[in-house]
Protein backbone atom coordinates (compact mmCIF):
# COMPACT_ATOMS: atom_id res chain seq x y z
CA UNK A 1 0.00 0.00 0.00
CA UNK A 2 1.31 3.47 -0.82
CA UNK A 3 1.85 5.45 2.34
CA UNK A 4 -0.84 8.09 2.80
CA UNK A 5 1.24 9.82 5.44
CA UNK A 6 3.63 11.89 3.37
CA UNK A 7 3.66 13.10 -0.16
CA UNK A 8 7.39 13.84 -0.14
CA UNK A 9 6.61 17.40 -1.19
CA UNK A 10 8.28 20.47 0.30
CA UNK A 11 6.68 21.82 3.48
CA UNK A 12 4.73 25.07 3.38
CA UNK A 13 5.40 27.96 5.76
CA UNK A 14 2.66 28.91 8.23
CA UNK A 15 -0.31 30.79 6.73
CA UNK A 16 -1.93 32.11 9.91
CA UNK A 17 -1.81 35.68 8.60
CA UNK A 18 -4.32 34.74 5.88
CA UNK A 19 -6.96 33.83 8.48
CA UNK A 20 -8.85 35.87 11.04
CA UNK A 21 -7.92 33.79 14.10
CA UNK A 22 -6.96 35.51 17.37
CA UNK A 23 -3.53 34.56 18.74
CA UNK A 24 -5.00 32.89 21.80
CA UNK A 25 -7.35 30.60 19.84
CA UNK A 26 -6.04 27.15 18.98
CA UNK A 27 -8.46 25.99 16.30
CA UNK A 28 -7.53 22.34 15.69
CA UNK A 29 -10.82 21.40 14.09
CA UNK A 30 -10.76 21.67 10.30
CA UNK A 31 -12.71 18.40 10.17
CA UNK A 32 -15.61 20.25 11.81
CA UNK A 33 -15.50 23.40 9.69
CA UNK A 34 -12.59 25.39 8.29
CA UNK A 35 -12.33 29.11 8.91
CA UNK A 36 -12.77 31.08 5.68
CA UNK A 37 -9.55 32.73 4.50
CA UNK A 38 -9.72 36.54 4.66
CA UNK A 39 -9.50 36.78 0.89
CA UNK A 40 -12.55 34.51 0.56
CA UNK A 41 -14.54 36.57 3.07
CA UNK A 42 -13.75 39.70 1.06
CA UNK A 43 -14.76 38.01 -2.19
CA UNK A 44 -18.02 36.87 -0.58
CA UNK A 45 -18.78 40.37 0.68
CA UNK A 46 -18.30 41.73 -2.83
CA UNK A 47 -20.49 38.97 -4.24
CA UNK A 48 -23.27 39.58 -1.73
CA UNK A 49 -23.15 43.34 -2.31
CA UNK A 50 -23.80 42.87 -6.03
CA UNK A 51 -27.29 41.64 -5.20
CA UNK A 52 -28.00 45.06 -3.67
CA UNK A 53 -27.68 46.41 -7.21
CA UNK A 54 -29.10 43.68 -9.43
CA UNK A 55 -28.89 45.80 -12.57
CA UNK A 56 -25.13 45.10 -12.56
CA UNK A 57 -25.71 41.32 -12.65
CA UNK A 58 -25.77 40.29 -16.31
CA UNK A 59 -26.82 37.02 -17.96
CA UNK A 60 -23.11 36.21 -18.42
CA UNK A 61 -22.70 36.33 -14.65
CA UNK A 62 -24.92 33.26 -14.38
CA UNK A 63 -22.33 31.25 -16.30
CA UNK A 64 -18.78 32.65 -16.20
CA UNK A 65 -17.96 32.39 -12.49
CA UNK A 66 -19.59 28.96 -12.22
CA UNK A 67 -17.42 27.65 -15.04
CA UNK A 68 -14.26 29.04 -13.42
CA UNK A 69 -15.07 27.32 -10.14
CA UNK A 70 -16.11 24.12 -11.89
CA UNK A 71 -12.72 24.11 -13.60
CA UNK A 72 -10.85 24.79 -10.36
CA UNK A 73 -12.49 21.81 -8.67
CA UNK A 74 -11.93 19.62 -11.74
CA UNK A 75 -8.22 20.50 -11.70
CA UNK A 76 -8.01 19.49 -8.05
CA UNK A 77 -9.16 15.93 -8.79
CA UNK A 78 -7.61 15.58 -12.27
CA UNK A 79 -11.01 15.60 -13.96
CA UNK A 80 -12.41 17.58 -16.90
CA UNK A 81 -14.74 20.51 -16.10
CA UNK A 82 -17.47 18.60 -17.95
CA UNK A 83 -17.35 15.91 -15.25
CA UNK A 84 -18.23 18.24 -12.37
CA UNK A 85 -21.66 19.34 -11.10
CA UNK A 86 -22.60 21.65 -8.24
CA UNK A 87 -24.19 19.90 -5.27
CA UNK A 88 -24.87 21.92 -2.10
CA UNK A 89 -24.45 18.95 0.26
CA UNK A 90 -23.10 15.43 0.17
CA UNK A 91 -26.63 14.15 0.77
CA UNK A 92 -27.68 15.94 -2.44
CA UNK A 93 -24.84 14.32 -4.43
CA UNK A 94 -25.68 10.91 -3.02
CA UNK A 95 -29.34 11.45 -3.92
CA UNK A 96 -28.24 11.87 -7.58
CA UNK A 97 -26.36 8.58 -7.30
CA UNK A 98 -29.07 6.57 -5.55
CA UNK A 99 -31.67 7.81 -8.04
CA UNK A 100 -29.67 6.23 -10.83
CA UNK A 101 -28.02 3.10 -9.46
CA UNK A 102 -30.10 0.00 -10.14
CA UNK A 103 -29.83 -2.94 -7.78
CA UNK A 104 -31.59 -6.26 -7.30
CA UNK A 105 -32.31 -7.97 -4.01
CA UNK A 106 -29.46 -10.47 -4.28
CA UNK A 107 -26.93 -7.63 -4.35
CA UNK A 108 -25.14 -5.84 -1.55
CA UNK A 109 -24.22 -2.25 -0.71
CA UNK A 110 -20.90 -2.13 1.16
CA UNK A 111 -19.75 0.67 3.42
CA UNK A 112 -17.68 1.14 6.60
CA UNK A 113 -18.87 0.86 10.17
CA UNK A 114 -19.53 4.34 11.56
CA UNK A 115 -19.46 5.96 8.12
CA UNK A 116 -20.82 9.54 7.97
CA UNK A 117 -24.66 9.52 7.81
CA UNK A 118 -24.91 11.43 4.50
CA UNK A 119 -23.19 8.43 2.87
CA UNK A 120 -25.31 5.92 4.81
CA UNK A 121 -28.97 6.98 4.85
CA UNK A 122 -29.28 7.30 1.04
CA UNK A 123 -27.93 3.76 0.65
CA UNK A 124 -30.08 2.35 3.46
CA UNK A 125 -33.05 3.86 1.65
CA UNK A 126 -31.98 2.28 -1.64
CA UNK A 127 -31.50 -1.05 0.15
CA UNK A 128 -35.01 -0.76 1.55
CA UNK A 129 -36.48 0.10 -1.85
CA UNK A 130 -34.71 -2.70 -3.72
CA UNK A 131 -34.30 -5.41 -1.09
CA UNK A 132 -30.52 -5.27 -1.51
CA UNK A 133 -28.47 -6.02 1.61
CA UNK A 134 -26.71 -3.13 3.38
CA UNK A 135 -23.33 -4.18 4.82
CA UNK A 136 -21.20 -2.04 7.16
CA UNK A 137 -17.71 -3.55 7.31
CA UNK A 138 -16.67 -3.71 11.02
CA UNK A 139 -13.75 -1.57 12.18
CA UNK A 140 -10.66 -3.80 11.72
CA UNK A 141 -8.57 -4.41 14.84
CA UNK A 142 -5.33 -3.71 12.93
CA UNK A 143 -6.61 -0.44 11.40
CA UNK A 144 -6.40 -1.85 7.85
CA UNK A 145 -9.70 -0.67 6.35
CA UNK A 146 -8.53 -1.44 2.82
CA UNK A 147 -8.02 -5.15 3.49
CA UNK A 148 -11.29 -5.34 5.46
CA UNK A 149 -13.18 -3.67 2.62
CA UNK A 150 -11.59 -5.77 -0.11
CA UNK A 151 -12.59 -8.96 1.69
CA UNK A 152 -16.23 -7.77 1.67
CA UNK A 153 -16.30 -7.04 -2.08
CA UNK A 154 -17.43 -9.97 -4.22
CA UNK A 155 -19.63 -10.78 -7.19
CA UNK A 156 -22.75 -9.91 -5.18
CA UNK A 157 -21.50 -6.37 -4.54
CA UNK A 158 -23.58 -3.75 -6.33
CA UNK A 159 -22.27 -0.59 -4.65
CA UNK A 160 -19.28 0.39 -2.53
CA UNK A 161 -19.97 3.68 -0.71
CA UNK A 162 -16.87 4.88 1.14
CA UNK A 163 -14.69 7.86 2.06
CA UNK A 164 -10.94 8.26 1.40
CA UNK A 165 -10.35 8.34 5.16
CA UNK A 166 -12.62 7.56 8.09
CA UNK A 167 -14.19 10.73 9.45
CA UNK A 168 -13.72 9.71 13.10
CA UNK A 169 -9.98 9.02 13.14
CA UNK A 170 -8.43 9.41 9.68
CA UNK A 171 -8.15 5.67 8.98
CA UNK A 172 -7.02 5.55 5.34
CA UNK A 173 -8.72 3.62 2.55
CA UNK A 174 -6.66 2.82 -0.53
CA UNK A 175 -9.24 3.83 -3.12
CA UNK A 176 -7.13 2.73 -6.06
CA UNK A 177 -7.24 -0.84 -4.74
CA UNK A 178 -10.95 -0.53 -3.93
CA UNK A 179 -11.63 0.93 -7.38
CA UNK A 180 -9.87 -2.02 -9.02
CA UNK A 181 -11.92 -4.45 -6.94
CA UNK A 182 -15.15 -2.65 -7.86
CA UNK A 183 -14.39 -2.77 -11.55
CA UNK A 184 -13.48 -6.47 -11.39
CA UNK A 185 -16.98 -7.32 -10.06
CA UNK A 186 -18.93 -4.57 -11.84
CA UNK A 187 -19.77 -2.66 -8.63
CA UNK A 188 -20.48 1.08 -8.51
CA UNK A 189 -17.91 3.10 -6.52
CA UNK A 190 -19.36 6.07 -4.72
CA UNK A 191 -16.99 8.24 -2.66
CA UNK A 192 -17.58 10.92 -0.05
CA UNK A 193 -14.46 13.08 -0.32
CA UNK A 194 -15.54 15.74 2.18
CA UNK A 195 -12.91 14.86 4.78
CA UNK A 196 -10.07 14.47 2.30
CA UNK A 197 -10.28 16.34 -1.02
CA UNK A 198 -8.18 19.48 -0.66
CA UNK A 199 -5.73 17.83 1.74
CA UNK A 200 -5.20 14.35 0.31
CA UNK A 201 -4.49 13.92 -3.41
CA UNK A 202 -7.45 12.49 -5.32
CA UNK A 203 -7.01 11.45 -8.94
CA UNK A 204 -10.15 10.34 -10.76
CA UNK A 205 -8.01 8.84 -13.52
CA UNK A 206 -6.43 6.43 -11.03
CA UNK A 207 -9.37 5.76 -8.71
CA UNK A 208 -12.13 5.96 -11.32
CA UNK A 209 -15.13 6.44 -9.02
CA UNK A 210 -18.61 6.52 -10.49
CA UNK A 211 -19.51 9.45 -8.21
CA UNK A 212 -17.49 11.61 -5.84
CA UNK A 213 -19.34 14.08 -3.58
CA UNK A 214 -17.43 16.80 -1.70
CA UNK A 215 -18.83 19.45 0.64
CA UNK A 216 -16.71 22.60 0.44
CA UNK A 217 -16.77 23.86 4.04
CA UNK A 218 -13.97 21.72 5.46
CA UNK A 219 -10.78 20.89 3.53
CA UNK A 220 -11.75 23.02 0.53
CA UNK A 221 -11.82 26.01 2.94
CA UNK A 222 -15.03 27.06 1.24
CA UNK A 223 -18.56 28.09 2.14
CA UNK A 224 -21.29 26.04 3.81
CA UNK A 225 -24.22 24.88 1.61
CA UNK A 226 -21.84 24.55 -1.32
CA UNK A 227 -20.07 21.58 -2.86
CA UNK A 228 -19.40 19.40 -5.85
CA UNK A 229 -20.36 16.11 -7.45
CA UNK A 230 -17.97 14.44 -9.86
CA UNK A 231 -19.84 12.12 -12.20
CA UNK A 232 -17.86 9.67 -14.33
CA UNK A 233 -18.34 10.21 -18.08
CA UNK A 234 -20.00 6.79 -18.37
CA UNK A 235 -22.82 8.04 -16.07
CA UNK A 236 -23.43 11.47 -17.55
CA UNK A 237 -26.49 10.35 -19.53
CA UNK A 238 -28.42 9.59 -16.33
CA UNK A 239 -31.49 11.42 -14.98
CA UNK A 240 -30.95 14.33 -12.62
CA UNK A 241 -33.15 14.47 -9.51
CA UNK A 242 -34.42 17.96 -10.38
CA UNK A 243 -35.01 19.87 -13.59
CA UNK A 244 -33.85 23.46 -13.67
CA UNK A 245 -33.77 25.89 -16.56
CA UNK A 246 -30.04 26.57 -16.50
CA UNK A 247 -29.08 22.92 -16.97
CA UNK A 248 -30.80 22.82 -20.38
CA UNK A 249 -29.06 23.47 -23.67
CA UNK A 250 -29.04 27.10 -24.77
CA UNK A 251 -30.01 28.50 -21.35
CA UNK A 252 -27.54 31.36 -22.01
CA UNK A 253 -30.27 32.83 -24.24
CA UNK A 254 -32.65 34.29 -21.64
CA UNK A 255 -35.11 35.52 -24.24
CA UNK A 256 -35.38 31.99 -25.65
CA UNK A 257 -35.98 30.10 -22.39
CA UNK A 258 -39.57 29.35 -23.34
CA UNK A 259 -38.30 27.36 -26.30
CA UNK A 260 -38.21 24.33 -24.01
CA UNK A 261 -35.29 22.04 -24.63
CA UNK A 262 -35.05 18.28 -24.32
CA UNK A 263 -31.27 18.44 -24.39
CA UNK A 264 -29.09 19.27 -21.42
CA UNK A 265 -25.94 21.35 -21.12
CA UNK A 266 -22.79 19.28 -21.66
CA UNK A 267 -21.47 16.56 -19.40
CA UNK A 268 -22.36 16.52 -15.71
CA UNK A 269 -23.97 19.98 -15.83
CA UNK A 270 -27.40 18.30 -15.97
CA UNK A 271 -26.84 17.40 -12.30
CA UNK A 272 -26.18 21.01 -11.20
CA UNK A 273 -28.39 22.10 -8.31
CA UNK A 274 -30.99 24.76 -9.17
CA UNK A 275 -29.73 28.35 -8.74
CA UNK A 276 -26.18 27.08 -8.85
CA UNK A 277 -24.94 30.54 -10.00
CA UNK A 278 -24.75 31.54 -6.35
CA UNK A 279 -23.57 35.16 -6.51
CA UNK A 280 -22.60 35.33 -2.82
CA UNK A 281 -20.95 31.93 -2.34
CA UNK A 282 -19.42 31.29 -5.77
CA UNK A 283 -16.72 33.98 -5.31
CA UNK A 284 -15.91 32.54 -1.87
CA UNK A 285 -15.37 29.07 -3.31
CA UNK A 286 -13.32 30.57 -6.14
CA UNK A 287 -10.95 32.40 -3.78
CA UNK A 288 -10.51 29.39 -1.49
CA UNK A 289 -9.89 26.94 -4.34
CA UNK A 290 -7.34 29.33 -5.80
CA UNK A 291 -5.43 29.34 -2.51
CA UNK A 292 -5.40 25.54 -2.43
CA UNK A 293 -4.19 25.42 -6.04
CA UNK A 294 -1.40 27.87 -5.21
CA UNK A 295 -0.27 25.87 -2.18
CA UNK A 296 -0.83 22.53 -3.99
CA UNK A 297 -2.36 19.50 -2.29
CA UNK A 298 0.89 17.49 -1.99
CA UNK A 299 2.50 20.36 -0.09
CA UNK A 300 -0.58 20.80 2.13
CA UNK A 301 -0.51 17.08 2.90
CA UNK A 302 3.22 17.00 3.65
CA UNK A 303 2.87 19.96 6.01
CA UNK A 304 -0.18 18.63 7.83
CA UNK A 305 1.27 15.10 8.06
CA UNK A 306 4.33 16.49 9.82
CA UNK A 307 2.08 18.36 12.25
CA UNK A 308 -0.33 15.49 13.05
CA UNK A 309 2.52 13.01 13.42
CA UNK A 310 4.21 15.22 16.02
CA UNK A 311 0.90 15.62 17.91
CA UNK A 312 0.24 11.85 17.79
CA UNK A 313 3.73 11.04 19.11
CA UNK A 314 3.46 13.51 21.97
CA UNK A 315 -0.11 12.42 22.88
CA UNK A 316 1.16 8.84 23.06
CA UNK A 317 4.26 9.70 25.10
CA UNK A 318 2.66 12.13 27.55
CA UNK A 319 -0.88 10.75 27.90
CA UNK A 320 -0.78 7.21 26.51
CA UNK A 321 -3.38 8.16 23.87
CA UNK A 322 -3.75 5.81 20.92
CA UNK A 323 -4.19 6.65 17.25
CA UNK A 324 -4.30 4.84 13.92
CA UNK A 325 -0.70 3.90 12.97
CA UNK A 326 0.87 6.45 10.58
CA UNK A 327 0.98 4.08 7.62
CA UNK A 328 -2.77 3.42 7.96
CA UNK A 329 -3.84 7.00 8.57
CA UNK A 330 -4.44 9.87 6.14
CA UNK A 331 -1.67 12.33 6.92
CA UNK A 332 -3.89 15.38 7.46
CA UNK A 333 -6.24 13.70 9.92
CA UNK A 334 -5.81 12.50 13.49
CA UNK A 335 -8.15 10.86 15.98
CA UNK A 336 -6.84 10.25 19.51
CA UNK A 337 -8.31 7.45 21.59
CA UNK A 338 -8.38 7.44 25.38
CA UNK A 339 -8.26 4.23 27.39
CA UNK A 340 -11.79 3.95 28.75
CA UNK A 341 -13.24 6.36 26.17
CA UNK A 342 -13.12 10.11 25.62
CA UNK A 343 -14.32 12.03 28.72
CA UNK A 344 -17.79 13.38 27.80
CA UNK A 345 -17.07 17.01 28.62
CA UNK A 346 -13.59 17.13 27.12
CA UNK A 347 -14.38 19.32 24.07
CA UNK A 348 -16.25 21.82 26.28
CA UNK A 349 -13.41 21.89 28.80
CA UNK A 350 -10.85 22.53 26.08
CA UNK A 351 -13.04 25.12 24.34
CA UNK A 352 -13.28 27.04 27.61
CA UNK A 353 -9.50 27.43 27.29
CA UNK A 354 -9.76 28.39 23.59
CA UNK A 355 -8.60 25.00 22.32
CA UNK A 356 -10.99 23.58 19.74
CA UNK A 357 -11.19 19.90 18.82
CA UNK A 358 -14.17 17.58 18.37
CA UNK A 359 -15.24 14.12 19.45
CA UNK A 360 -16.66 11.77 16.86
CA UNK A 361 -17.34 8.14 17.71
CA UNK A 362 -14.69 7.08 20.25
CA UNK A 363 -12.00 9.49 19.06
CA UNK A 364 -11.00 13.05 19.82
CA UNK A 365 -10.30 14.56 16.40
CA UNK A 366 -7.34 16.88 16.15
CA UNK A 367 -7.28 18.37 12.68
CA UNK A 368 -4.88 21.28 12.24
CA UNK A 369 -4.29 23.17 8.99
CA UNK A 370 -1.88 25.75 7.65
CA UNK A 371 -3.19 28.33 10.15
CA UNK A 372 -1.94 26.14 13.00
CA UNK A 373 1.14 27.36 14.85
CA UNK A 374 3.53 25.67 17.29
CA UNK A 375 1.94 27.84 19.98
CA UNK A 376 -1.48 26.29 19.21
CA UNK A 377 -0.05 22.83 19.78
CA UNK A 378 1.65 23.92 23.02
CA UNK A 379 -1.68 25.27 24.17
CA UNK A 380 -3.38 21.91 23.49
CA UNK A 381 -0.81 20.05 25.56
CA UNK A 382 -0.87 22.67 28.26
CA UNK A 383 -4.65 22.39 28.83
CA UNK A 384 -5.04 18.63 28.22
CA UNK A 385 -3.83 17.50 31.69
CA UNK A 386 -6.45 19.63 33.46
CA UNK A 387 -9.18 18.46 31.10
CA UNK A 388 -8.48 14.72 31.45
CA UNK A 389 -7.70 14.78 35.21
C1 LIG B 1 -17.47 12.69 5.97
C2 LIG B 1 -18.47 13.79 5.90
N3 LIG B 1 -19.26 13.86 4.83
C4 LIG B 1 -20.19 14.82 4.70
C5 LIG B 1 -20.38 15.77 5.67
C6 LIG B 1 -21.44 16.81 5.47
O7 LIG B 1 -22.57 16.21 4.88
P8 LIG B 1 -23.69 17.09 4.20
O9 LIG B 1 -23.01 17.91 3.15
O10 LIG B 1 -24.64 16.08 3.60
O11 LIG B 1 -24.32 17.93 5.26
C12 LIG B 1 -19.56 15.73 6.82
C13 LIG B 1 -19.75 16.70 7.91
O14 LIG B 1 -19.26 16.55 9.00
C15 LIG B 1 -18.59 14.71 6.93
O16 LIG B 1 -17.79 14.62 8.00
d(CA 144, CA 174): 10
Cα–ligand 1 centroid distance for 259 (angstroms): 38
Quick check: CB of 162 below 6 Å from ligand 1?
no
Strand 227-231 versus strand 211-215 pairing type:
antiparallel
Please tell me the least confidently modeled range out of 274-283, 301-310, 361-370. Answer: 361-370
Kindly state the percentage of the chain with pLDDT values over 90.
94
Cα–ligand 1 centroid distance for 184 (angstroms): 29
Cα–ligand 1 centroid distance for 89 (angstroms): 7
Q: What is the mean pLDDT of residues 358-362?
A: 87
Contact 143, 309 (CB under 8 A): no
d(CA 110, CA 348): 35
The packing angle between helices 121-130 and 90-98, to 10°, is 20
Quick check: CB of 90 below 6 Å from ligand 1?
yes
Specify the DSSP class assigned to residue 370. Answer: T
Cα–ligand 1 centroid distance for 300 (angstroms): 21
Express each pLDDT in 115-150 by its tens digit.
999 999 999 999 999 999 999 999 999 999 999 999
Widest CA span in the chain: 70
Mutate which of 194, 196, 330 to test ligand 1's pocket (most atoms within 8 Å of Cβ)? Answer: 194
Cα–ligand 1 centroid distance for 197 (angstroms): 12
Quick check: CB of 89 below 6 Å from ligand 1?
yes
Q: Sign of torsion, CA 51 57 61 65?
A: negative
d(CA 175, CA 112): 13
pLDDT tier for residue 2 given thresholds of 50, 70 and 90: very low
Question: What pLDDT was estimated at residue 111?
Answer: 98
d(CA 272, CA 85): 5
Question: What pLDDT was estimated at residue 1?
Answer: 43
Amino acid sequence: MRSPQTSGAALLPGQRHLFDIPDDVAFLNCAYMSPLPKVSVAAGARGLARKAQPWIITPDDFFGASETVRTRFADLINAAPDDVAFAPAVSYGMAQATANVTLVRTQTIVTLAEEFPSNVYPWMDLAQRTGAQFIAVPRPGDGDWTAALLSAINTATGVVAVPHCHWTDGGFIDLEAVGNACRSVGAVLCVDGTQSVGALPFDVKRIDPDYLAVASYKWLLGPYSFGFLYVAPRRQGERPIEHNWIARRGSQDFAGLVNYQREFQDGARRFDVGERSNFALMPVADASLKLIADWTVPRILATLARRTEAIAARARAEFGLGSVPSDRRAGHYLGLRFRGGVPADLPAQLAAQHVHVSVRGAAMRVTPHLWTTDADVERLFAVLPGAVA
